[in-house]
Structure 1
Amino acid sequence: MTEFSRITPPRDAQEKRRSLIERADDAFGLDRLGPARVPRALPEARRTPPQVQAGAPIEPPAAETAAAESAAAPSAGAGAPPSAPPVALSGPRQAVDRECLRREGLLVPEDPVTGQLEEFRIVKRELLTEARAGNDPLARRILVCSPHPGEGKTYCATNLAIALAAERDIEVVLIDADVVKPSVTRRLGIEGGPGLMDALADPAIAPESCVIRTDIEGLFVLPAGGSNVRDAEYLASARTGELLDRLTRDAPRRILVFDTPPALAASPAAELAGHVGQALLVVRADETSRAALEDARQLLSACPDIKLLLNAARYSPSGRRFGDYGKGED
């Protein structure tokens, strides 16, 4: 602490000529200020362990903790640990009937390029752009629906899946979610079997074991499976999210395409809308009313991105006609 004792006043003329600092030196000995002398022989320092309560964890010194954390942390530039491989689609292998595809008016991978193929190439490109924009597995789940029956939603879902499968390094799983009137396997000319509803009803059934591997490279099919009166409740359960997560987890190159019942005719489309990132609402030119379109859009509002696909249009204001280039004059 600072000492505040009084400085003795000067007694004669000679002392009066001395400065205040000089007189302070006489009083307090400022010439003795300086660092303390260090003894030559220092006693050995002993480290006293910290006192801890019985049963309390003993924390290591900060330096040791920092060293341990440094050793445990990955070195700069080291890559992240590899992610787990995606679930393999392990169902039976079947060949798609090409003649059945032609009878149904569907795309045939080996056939020449047609206007129909070019149209679906444009549609798939829009969907792929969204699917690849981020690392969101929901964006790689695409629901295809229509307001009413007969507007072409299964036709569009199947053609879209075939067109997407033509992309390099992509797996497309076409899921027949129209559990009321399933028709995907019939249109492809393959046999059905256990499928979506069976895996939802019985947690012991792995969904990947029900996925049919077709001979069209990159195309897989998950049939609708057995139907019962509780289909809507199964689709609304937490099991649906778990099943779809299993199919898309750690699989950035896998796309799910759902063919659902018409939105205004059955509830599965509205139930599945919350499990997908994109929806393709198919409407038929000159048939689907604006009121039906608005009602269907409202039912699918759980999906953040709803696109409109106009089917069976016979008029193009620009005169666009895909598939004719190369057949005549430039």
Structure 2
Amino acid sequence: MTGSPEQLYIDTDRLERMGLITPTENFTPIKEEYRYIKRPLLDNAFGANAAQLTNPNLVLVSSCHAGEGKTFTALNLALSMVTEHDRCVLLVDADVINPNLSRRLNISDQALGLLDYLNSKAEVRDIIQSTSIPNFKVVSAGTRHHHATEMIASERMKQFMKELSSRYSDRIVIFDTSPLLGASETSVLAKMTGQALIVIEEARTSQRQVERALSLLKPNMAIGLVLNKSRTRQKDYYGYYGASQR
């Protein structure tokens, strides 16, 4: 099955009602928060540190557990990066068991996506969907499959990541993935990316759980932490950022 996918219309008013960033000139506190979060990721992807990382333009967004705000963070991060001049962003829904990102963007269940590619029913060009927001493209989770988690850890997934890293090296690719604890395929996926952003819910996730999740990541990747649902909403000195979540 081939053919360019139709452009996805994104209702920015709906995004705003959901508490998400919209690509307008209006100042909002959440836009300022994500400016702090995106800057080191962009520097790692395209700055001086890029040479020290493997696939630095591929960024995994995950959490320890479900419900900590990783999808909210991945989507806001992508929308914030789109405001950069001459920067194209590709957002991939790699949480194939719970494709919340695809639902938030109102992507049709019939749209070809990641699982269709991994099941050899589509090629990369068939699943990258342009949107009504300039320089913002998405890949949905795709058609549900009973071997979805195994497919994420497959050789074809490695080919997909390699193509995104080499053929599309001028764009940043963000993966919304399953939580690290309890989903072994996420740690496999992390080995294919150069950066990881881990979302941690304040007053819920313990330090021990965070350490366990971080131990599943490869040691030579750039790792950032986002403290979510924070009461202080202020960036501290340890790479935690106070981003709100809906």
Alignment TM-score, normalising by the size of structure 1? 0.65
**1:198 to 2:198 alignment:** no
Distance 1:283 1:318 in 2: 14
Q: Deviations over 1:228-264 (max 9, x none)?
A: 2322222222211111222332433211100001111
Report the count of equivalent residues. 231
**Amino acid in the other structure paired with 2:194:** G
- Residue matched to 1:65: none
- Residue matched to 1:240: 157
Among residues 89, 99, 104, which one is paired with 2:18 in the alignment? Answer: 104
Asked if the contact 2:78–2:91 (Cα under 8 Å) also holds between the matched residues in 1, the reply is yes
Percent pairwise identity: 36
TM-superposed deviation, 1:150: 1.1
Relative contact order: is structure 1 or structure 2 higher (C-alpha 8 Å, sep ≥ 6)? 2
Distance 1:108 1:227 in 2: 29
Cα 1:165–1:90 shift into 2, 3 Å: farther
TM-superposed deviation, 1:125: 0.6
Distance 2:234 2:147 in 1: 47
TM-superposed deviation, 1:111: 5.9
TM-superposed deviation, 1:137: 6.3
TM-superposed deviation, 1:266: 1.9
- Residue matched to 2:83: 166
* SS of equivalent to 2:225: strand
- Residue matched to 2:5: 91
Distance 1:318 1:121 in 2: 11
**1:121 to 2:35 alignment:** yes
* Greater displacement, 139-148 / 102-111: 102-111
Asked if the contact 2:96–2:149 (Cα under 8 Å) also holds between the matched residues in 1, the reply is no
Structure 1 residues without counterparts, runs of 5 or longer: 1-88, 323-330
Asked if the contact 1:200–1:240 (Cα under 8 Å) also holds between the matched residues in 2, the reply is yes
- Residue matched to 1:32: none
Q: Deviations over 1:145-168 (max 9, x none)?
A: 000111100000000000111111
* CA-atom RMSD in angstroms: 2.3
Among residues 254, 264, 269, which one is paired with 2:181 in the alignment? Answer: 264
* SS of equivalent to 2:141: coil
**Amino acid in the other structure paired with 1:313:** S
**1:138 to 2:52 alignment:** no
Cα 1:111–1:95 shift into 2, 3 Å: farther
Asked if the contact 1:195–1:207 (Cα under 8 Å) also holds between the matched residues in 2, the reply is no
Asked if the contact 1:269–1:300 (Cα under 8 Å) also holds between the matched residues in 2, the reply is no
TM-superposed deviation, 1:205: 1.7
* Greater displacement, 168-177 / 140-149: 168-177
* SS of equivalent to 1:131: helix
Structure 2 residues without counterparts, runs of 5 or longer: 237-241
- What does residue range 160-309 of structure 1 map to in structure 2 within 5 Å? 160-192=77-109, 193-202=111-120, 205-301=122-218, 304-309=221-226
Alignment TM-score, normalising by the size of structure 2? 0.86
Distance 1:139 1:309 in 2: 19
TM-superposed deviation, 1:143: 0.3
* SS of equivalent to 1:299: coil
Asked if the contact 1:95–1:190 (Cα under 8 Å) also holds between the matched residues in 2, the reply is no
* SS of equivalent to 2:175: strand
Larger Rg: 1
Cα 1:93–1:275 shift into 2, 3 Å: same
**1:148 to 2:65 alignment:** yes
